[in-house]
Amino acid sequence: MRSYAQKGLVAALVLATQVVIVSAAEDRPKGNFRQCLEVSPECPVFATLYGYRPNLGANAFLCALFALCCLASIVIGILSKTWTYTLALGIGTFLEAAGYAGRIIMNDNPWSESGFKLQICCLVLGPSFVAAAIYLTLKHFVLYCGPQYSLIKPRLYPWIFVGCDFGSIVLQAVGGGMAAAGGTTNKKLIDGGNNLIVAGIAFQVVTMVVCGVLILIYIFRYRKARQNRDALNEKSSYEMDKEAGSVSLGKIKLFAGVIVLAYLTVLIRCIYRLPEMAGGWGNALMRNEREFLLLDGMMLGIACAVLTAFHPAYFFPPFAAFRRSK
């Protein structure tokens, strides 16, 4: 029964992706523009990979937002001694800021090779580190509320899911290299590179979905065992702190909501990237800046902003313990 459901879900996802790809048919003009270094009558903006001059205001705003989040997360991390979380979120926000700096460079010159490489590399890598920060908090949520309800050991959450994140990065990096090596003449190599990039993004989406399913199962098992816990007088650290009145339930619930919001926004960004890359280089979806800014930039912006503003060192007891004990 489960296998049929899984096959049906996969088929639905494939169909949905194909529908979007059909509406994102390639519209980049044909020709060899590899020698283009700046905008000219022979090298129009429309002929670039994205087909537009990146909006200066929007990209500058996102660059400033991620830079501010990076600086704030580093300062808070140093004060709170939450090194691992700070490292993950700090690197993620730094890469995002650098990526949008690359897009600002492309506003000045849409043919800028350095600007393009900077933004494509950083904006592909950044979300994986933001996701890693989320996975680290999940580990501590499980430990705090009761590890016995988890299907896997809490310490495995960051190892498994961060490892899968980096696996997807490797696939995308290899695919990007193949596509770049193919240039404009070797269609077989270009298509092979695109396929690897799509596979890497799909793997990242599957990783996040599996993580979400594990957490839903954990919540179900935790609530189901409530009566047994009362009968056996089994109390987690969370329940003991709640009875002692040493924690703010409002803060814990708020932080849980922050993690859910960050998880969903990062997942939306990854799902958006699937049809964007599956449509091939220069397809209509890739050349739509509004959708990119909304479904990639703003989704990551929301995730990074809430993960920084509602830092676990001040809203989540296990992380607050690090701050008090060190």
Per the DSSP assignment, residues forming a β-bridge with 26 are: 283
**Better-scored residue on pLDDT, 36 or 300:** 300
Per-residue pLDDT tens over the stretch 257-275 = 999 999 999 999 999 988 8
Residue with tokens 């990783």: 207
Of 63-72, 141-150, 210-219, where does the model show the most confidence?
A: 63-72
DSSP annotation string for 123-185:
HHHHHHHHHHHHHHHHHHHHHHH-GGG-SS-TTHHHHHHHHHHHHHHHHHHHHHHHHHHHTTT
Query: Is the Cβ–Cβ distance between 123 and 296 less than 8 Å?
Result: yes
pLDDT of residue 52: 92
CA distances from 224 to 77, 219, 230, 254 (A): 36, 8, 12, 23
pTM of this structure: 0.82
**Better-scored residue on pLDDT, 276 or 187:** 276
- Mean pLDDT in residue range 204-220: 92
Q: In which band, very low, low, confident or very high, does the pLDDT at 321 lie, cut at 50, 70 and 90? A: low
Q: In which band, very low, low, confident or very high, does the pLDDT at 231 lie, cut at 50, 70 and 90? A: low
Burial class (CB in 10 A: 0-12, 13-18, 19+), 32: exposed
pLDDT of residue 25: 39
Residue 102: half-sphere exposure toward Cβ, Cα within 13 Å: 20
What is the maximum alpha-carbon separation in the chain? Answer: 79
Please tell me whether residue 1 adopts helix, strand or coil conformation.
Answer: coil
pLDDT of residue 213: 95
Give the separation between CA 108 and CA 110, rounded to whole angstroms.
7
Per the DSSP assignment, residues forming a β-bridge with 283 are: 26
Give the separation between CA 196 and CA 278, rounded to whole angstroms.
10
Per-residue pLDDT tens over the stretch 129-138 = 899 899 888 8
- Mean pLDDT in residue range 283-289: 89
pLDDT of residue 183: 45
Q: In which band, very low, low, confident or very high, does the pLDDT at 290 lie, cut at 50, 70 and 90? A: very high
pLDDT of residue 192: 78
Per-residue pLDDT tens over the stretch 23-39 = 343 456 666 666 788 88
Identity of residue 127:
P
Query: Is the Cβ–Cβ distance between 189 and 177 less than 8 Å?
Result: no
Q: What is the DSSP letter of 41?
A: T
- Gyration radius from the chain CA atoms: 22
Fold that domain 51-325 belongs to in CATH = Rhopdopsin 7-helix transmembrane proteins (1.20.1070)
